[in-house]
């Protein structure tokens, strides 16, 4: 969550408004938790999925988004119930939120590359995209997601007295990691991350499009892959909102003075809540294979299914 100015933190909602806002976000959290829980349960109950690198990367992103959503909603509720918390606790929540937010775009790039290999090099796909390499890629994703931002904590430990971590603050990143250098470092890394991910998605999309046009036979898998990567692009743009939202929030506050609380709430729903709906939809609903098993467990309510059954449906 972000703020446009320190003095605006003193603005508070009425009890009724605060209750309704918290009721809405908690209700959304329950809804998304049920959807994500259903998807995760379907994945782990069928061996066919956790032996497929494509679905391993997918379920990693679903779990990552679920953690990110839980942490940001917890911070949202805490900001109304307690208003301030200790810096030490705030550091933990902020860092988890930052790590999970940063890992999503990198995960999207990995999934796009997997689709590119599946379409453009189908005979080598099983050799290149293995389960072991999928887990190695997840390790790399977390490494490059954690390293740039964990330095914020080390810099703060070096520049602030230990008593600072026992003080109470309104839990925002600028209120905890105050060094101005960290802001420039963060902006630089954000630009590098999103540029690389965007170029990856663009290149894989174009290569798959060209491969589809070159095929004289069935083009459906390539067409579906291009649609999937386009949706990944939409996810990436929505992830980008979290980095430009402070500036947008400031502009909107100038245009609509006195509406900072409404602007913040709308910003929170659009930037942090809405993107979390996309991950389960892209594979959980669009993917024919996954949808079949998801229906069996959570729509048709079949209590038991042999996890050794191989699904022969065509992949999305």
pTM for the structure as a whole: 0.81
Binned at pLDDT 50, 70 and 90, residue 71 comes out as very high
CA distance 276 to 239: 10
By mean pLDDT, which of 80-89, 104-113, 129-138, 283-292 is the weakest?
283-292
Q: Where are the alpha helices (DSSP H) in 160-219?
A: 173-176, 180-214
What pLDDT is attached to residue 142? 94
Q: What average pLDDT does the chain have? A: 79
Binned at pLDDT 50, 70 and 90, residue 284 comes out as low
What pLDDT is attached to residue 148? 85
**b/e burial code for range 203-235 (CB count within 10 A of at least 16 → b):** ebbeebbebbeeeeeeeebbebbbebbebbbeb
Q: Cβ distance 43 to 55 under 8 Å?
A: yes
By mean pLDDT, which of 117-126, 223-232, 293-302 is the weakest?
293-302
Q: Which residues, 6 or more positions from 179, have their beta carbon under 8 angstroms from its beta carbon?
A: 155, 156, 159
Secondary element (H or E) of residue 169: strand 168-169
Q: Quick one: the chain helix, strand, coil %, rounded to 5?
A: 80, 0, 20
**Res 170 pLDDT > 90:** no
Structure confidence by residue, pLDDT tens digits, 233-258 = 777 777 667 666 667 777 877 888 77
Considering only the C-alpha atoms of the chain, give the largest distance between any 2 of them, rounded to a whole number of Å: 69
What pLDDT is attached to residue 266? 83
**Res 159 pLDDT > 70:** yes
Go through the domains of the chain in sequence order and give each one's CATH number.
15-295 (1.20.1070.10)
- Lookup: tokens for 217: 């036979």
What pLDDT is attached to residue 140? 94
């Amino acid at each position: 969550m972000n703020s446009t100015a320190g003095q605006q933190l003193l603005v508070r909602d009425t009890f009724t408004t605060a209750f309704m806002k918290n009721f809405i976000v908690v209700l959304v959290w329950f809804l998304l938790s049920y959807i994500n829980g259903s998807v995760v349960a379907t994945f782990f109950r069928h061996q066919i999925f956790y032996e497929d690198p494509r679905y391993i990367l997918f379920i990693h992103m679903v779990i990552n988004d679920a953690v990110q959503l839980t942490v940001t909603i917890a911070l949202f509720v805490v900001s109304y119930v307690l208003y301030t918390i200790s810096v030490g606790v705030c550091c933990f929540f902020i860092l988890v939120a930052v790590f999970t937010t940063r890992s999503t775009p990198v995960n999207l790039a990995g999934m796009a590359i997997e689709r590119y290999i599946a379409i453009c090099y189908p005979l080598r796909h099983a050799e290149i995209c293995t389960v072991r390499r999928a887990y190695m890629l997840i390790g790399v994703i977390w490494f490059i997601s954690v390293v740039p931002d964990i330095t914020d904590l080390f810099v703060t430990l070096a520049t602030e007295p230990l008593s600072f971590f026992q003080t109470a603050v309104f839990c925002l990143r600028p209120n905890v990691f105050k060094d101005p250098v960290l802001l420039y470092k963060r902006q630089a890394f954000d630009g590098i991350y999103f540029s690389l991910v965007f170029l990856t998605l663009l290149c894989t999309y174009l290569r798959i499009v060209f491969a589809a046009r070159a095929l004289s036979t069935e083009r459906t898998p390539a067409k579906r892959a291009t649609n999937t990567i386009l949706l990944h692009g939409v996810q990436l743009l929505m992830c980008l909102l979290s980095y430009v939202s402070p500036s947008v929030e400031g502009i909107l506050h100038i245009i609509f003075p006195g509406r900072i609380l409404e602007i913040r709430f709308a910003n929170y729903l659009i930037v942090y809540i809405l993107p979390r709906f996309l991950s389960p939809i892209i594979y959980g609903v669009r993917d024919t294979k996954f949808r079949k098993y998801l229906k069996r467990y959570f729509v048709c309510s079949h209590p038991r299914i042999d996890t050794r059954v191989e699904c022969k449906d065509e992949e999305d």
